[in-house]
Amino acid sequence: MTGKVALVSGASGGIGLACARALRNLGCELVITELPGQRDAALHAAESLHGLALELDLRDPAQAARCVANVVDRFGQLEVLVNNAGVVIRKPALELTVEDWDAVQDVNLRGAFFLAQAAAKVMTSRRTGRIVNIASIFGLVGGPNRAAYSASKGGLVNLTRSLAVEWAPFNVQVNAVAPNVTRTPMTEKLLSDPDAVDAITTGTPAGRLTTAEDVGEAVAWLAVSAPAYITGVTLPVDGGWTAK
């Protein structure tokens, strides 16, 4: 795997950083992205990975195209994309606004598609590449106060299938992982409630929270080690939650 170029969106911390570290451990050259307002965190993460940090706001498809072009200009190739950047708004469905809905879909689904599209233009032309989308168990099952988020991640699961079918003839594999609730900066408020932690761990057959490293290792396997014949799969990383 040494020398393969991997692009991981939203990777200054949490699941994205864990994915980047797992890929780096397999010898990948790393490019990570973050929002302009998180430049310092992105630069620090990139330095720890001996990688490159780029600014990217997935709400703008033109930025996604420029980001991929920048990677190819600098490295001459792009073999792995991890579509990790995401937004979550937890609110009762009856209280969701148009702005709430669009804020989630614009990054989690629309933004993920256009970044995958930009990467796949490179990958399909060279007939090699792997894309791993970060979905969620809430793209597979329902949950209260997550209507916009669940819709975006459910859409991402089916987008993964569609792109896998369309790009398989070009030797480009598209898969996804569906993590259980994972302790990251994004879930800090939720997991500060002991009752919430107890409910999640009690409902998880493995009896513990998902770690970012659990997700990173699964992503690295799909991006590097999994047989090329595996495509269109959404792999739950959930300690058995969806197997119940």
pLDDT digits (tens, 9 = 90+) for 24-61: 999 999 999 999 888 888 899 999 999 999 999 999 99
CB count within 10 Å of CB 82 equals 30
Domain-embedded: residue 144:
yes
What span, in angstroms and rounded, lies between the C-alpha atoms of 159 and 153? Answer: 9
Sheet with 129-134: list strands edge to edge: 52-55, 29-34, 5-8, 80-83, 129-134, 172-179, 234-237
Percent of the chain with pLDDT over 90: 90
CA atoms within 13 A on the CB side of 205: 8
Domain-embedded: residue 202:
no
Domain-embedded: residue 244:
no
CATH of residue 35's domain is: 3.40.50.720
Domain-embedded: residue 115:
yes
Range of the domain at 32: 5-182+213-236
95: confidence class by pLDDT, cuts 50, 70, 90: very high
What span, in angstroms and rounded, lies between the C-alpha atoms of 116 and 162? Answer: 12
pLDDT digits (tens, 9 = 90+) for 168-205: 999 999 999 999 999 888 888 888 899 999 999 999 99
- Active site (annotated) includes residue 149: yes
Domain-embedded: residue 200:
no
Say what the pLDDT of residue 185 is. 82
Q: What is the mean pLDDT of residues 139-166?
A: 97
Say what the pLDDT of residue 3 is. 82
Domain-embedded: residue 207:
no
Both tokens assigned to 193: 């409630």
Say what the pLDDT of residue 42 is. 87
Q: Name the residue with tokens 């233009």.
A: 121
Domain-embedded: residue 76:
yes
Q: Is 233 helix (H, G, I), strand (E, B) or coil?
A: coil
Q: Is 84 helix (H, G, I), strand (E, B) or coil?
A: coil
Q: How many domains does the chain have?
A: 1
Contacts of residue 110, defined as CB under 8 A and 6 or more positions apart, other chains included, come to 58, 59, 61
Q: Is 232 helix (H, G, I), strand (E, B) or coil?
A: coil
Catalytic residue among 149, 173, 182, 187: 149
Domain-embedded: residue 194:
no
